Structure formats: structure tokens, C-alpha cells
Homo-oligomer: A and B are copies of this chain.
Amino acid sequence: MRTVEWNYATSQLQMIDQRLLPGELTVAVFDDYREVSQAISDMVVRGAPAIGAAAGFGLALAAQQSTARKVESLHSDMEEAANFLKRARPTAVNLTWALERILRKTYCVMDHGSADDLRLAILNEAQRIADEDVEINKRIAMHGAQLIADGDVIIHHCNTGALATVDWGTALGVIRMAHEQGKKIHVLVDETRPRLQGARLTAWELTQYGIPFDIITDNAAGYFLRAGQAQKVFVGSDRTAANGDVANKIGTYMLALATHDNGVPFYAVVPTSTVDLSLASGGMIPIEERDQAEVLGLTFQGMLAHPEGATARNPAFDVTPHRLITGIITENGVAYPPYGENLERVVKKKETP
């Protein structure tokens, strides 16, 4: 099954509840777009491509929920719902990208269709976004897997697998493709504090795929890089600026520094939907600061890991400057520095199938 999927029998959205993994594989069912927005905020679903698809289907739910009979008033309900959904999380650009793509599509229907035509067009476009995500990820994986050699030990941050997308994954999809091509690889899985998406989700996916791995604390990656025990680093991106700066899960910047300091290649794996050419540099990407409970909600050997009354700061993302990035892998090929020219060219390229 897909991480994010429309159920055509019941007209509901189904998503794997990622907060419960690896202990439980539970599917949450939605028929209210406001609950989808809450699920994105609460990280029932996470990962830039997956939240893009979830928001798209969220808009399809909103269209279903709207009682508007005239196409204009339905459209205005849709704009309202899209604005509501956009506020669920600020950093990943896919959320906005998916919603705007669907709204743009609806303008043509408005001119010559009914409200129900519009409802159908919205669902169809949301489905198209989801289907394209899987296809795009596989194209990314083919480009990226060429960069992995037999015997490589690869460091991976956060979760960028099937769970972070509709299916297949981005950075983890590259690793999976290399494995399916028969290359012997080993993954060092950054546990990825505070929400431990590496230890919980990536380790779970790697177990399913039969790819050997060890979990490491985020702060240990530098040790393995300096010891020559890792040959490549692959990470995802929640938003990439025009100059190649990458906003990704907190810790990516420090991992990139340690990778660069040891002359090891560092690749960001980026569907072009997460590239925001309207932003000149990463400094303009809004960074979400989440609830301190995510940092403090930890027990170690059965005991609370902080003194009573302690407070925490919890930025969810950081920006890795492009100077630390060896290559940006997209579905249209790999962009190399200088990104100012090469990233735009790759993003705007239509790959001949």
C-alpha cells in the first residue's frame, strides 16, 4: 500500500500513521480536510513529497465537504481550504506547490464546467500528483544509484523513503535502487533527533528491504567520516533555493560540514517540486520551530532524561549552504556546481522518456 492513498470506494483519504511506527502499522482514515491539516502538523504524515500529496487529497476532501452548488462559490471555498492547509507546516515547499498546482488547474474547469466537474477535476489532479510522485522517485533513483559503488557504506539522515513520499522514496529510494541493482551496501542510519525518524522509520524500511544497516547517533557521523568508514552521504530536502542551498531536517548542516571536511561526496536528493526558484538563497526559507515536548519527551533507561522544569528549543530544519553539496539529484538528472545556472537548467528540463 501507499503511504498516502485515496480510497475510491469510500471517498476517503488513507494514510499510514507514522507516529506509531515501528511498533504498529496503522492506517488512519480522513474525510475532513481540517483533520488532514492537523495530521500534517502532528506528523501523522511527514516528508515533503508525502505532505504535498496529502494536502492535494485534503483539498479533494474539502471539495467533497463544500455544499456549494455554483462553481464560483466552490472555487472560493477551495481557496479558503488551500490557505488553511498551507499553514499546517511552513518549511516544505511541496505543500504550497501541490495546492497551487491544483488551484491553477481548476481555473480552466471554472470557465465551462459545473461544481461537480470542478470536484472531479480537483480529485483527478490530486491523484495525478500522487502518481507522478512515485514515477518521479523512480527516475531520481535511477540517476542517483549510478553514484553508488559496490561496497559503499552510506550515511543517511532522517527518513526519505517510501514513508516520506507517496511510495518508493527520494534519498532512501536511491539507496534502495542500488541494492536492487545487486550492489553490496551498508547504511549508517542517523537516528535523527528529536523525532527519531531515522531510528524509527528508515531502520524499519531498511529491514523490509533487506538492506544491512546500523543506527548511529546524529553526533557520531563525524567519527565515521573521519575514520574513513563512510564513502557517501545522501539526504533529502524540504525546500531547495535557486542557488542550491538546501533546507532539510535539523542536523543536515552539521552532517554536511563533517562530510565536506573529510572529502566525502554529499548528495541532496530533490524532486524538482521541492526546488523553489523564487528564493535566491536558503536564508529566505522559513524554518519551523516545533514544540519543546519533542526534545524533552524522552526516557533513557526508564528514567526521564531532564530535570523538572527544564525548557528546550526545537528548530525542525536547518539550511545547508550549497558550497557543501557535491551534487543535487533530481528526476531530470544530477545538477553539479555552479548551481546558480545548473540547477535551474535541470529543473526546467523536460526529460525525454
Contact with B along A290-314 (1 / 0, CB 8 A): 0000011111110111111111111
Let me know if A309 and B207 touch, CB within 8 A: yes
How far apart sit A188 and B195, CA to CA, in the bound complex (Å)? Answer: 19
Of all chain B residues, which has the CB nearest A309? B207
Let me know if B200 and A300 touch, CB within 8 A: yes
Let me know if A305 and B258 touch, CB within 8 A: no
Task: Say which one of A31-39, A164-172, A249-257 lies at the interface with B.
Answer: A249-257
Contact with B along A190-226 (1 / 0, CB 8 A): 1111111001100110010000011111111111101
Interface SS of A by simple majority: mixed
**Which residue of B20, B207, B216 is within 8 Å of A313 (Cβ)?**
B216
Given A216-B295, A251-B220, A257-B258, the answer on whether A310 and B207 have CB atoms closer than 8 Å is yes
- A269 CB, nearest partner CB in chain B, Å: 19
**Which residue of B218, B222, B224, B303 is within 8 Å of A257 (Cβ)?**
B222
State the interface size on chain A (CB cutoff 8 A).
61
A341 near B: Cβ within 8 Å?
no
A184 near B: Cβ within 8 Å?
no
For A319, the chain B residues whose CB sits under 8 A away are 226
- A203 CB, nearest partner CB in chain B, Å: 5
For A199, the chain B residues whose CB sits under 8 A away are 298, 305-306, 310
Let me know if A195 and B226 touch, CB within 8 A: no
- A217 CB, nearest partner CB in chain B, Å: 4
A19 near B: Cβ within 8 Å?
yes
Let me know if A307 and B219 touch, CB within 8 A: no
For A214, the chain B residues whose CB sits under 8 A away are 311-313
A261 near B: Cβ within 8 Å?
yes
Let me know if A217 and B295 touch, CB within 8 A: yes
- Using A22-B308, A200-B300, A220-B251 as known contacts, list a sample of 11 further A-B pairs with CB atoms less than 8 Å apart, ordered by residue number in A: A22-B307, A188-B313, A196-B298, A204-B307, A214-B311, A215-B313, A220-B318, A223-B287, A226-B253, A226-B319, A297-B300
Query: A residues near B, CB below 8 A?
Result: 19-20, 22-23, 188, 190-196, 199-200, 203-204, 207, 213-224, 226, 250-251, 253-255, 257-258, 261, 287, 295-301, 303-315, 318-319
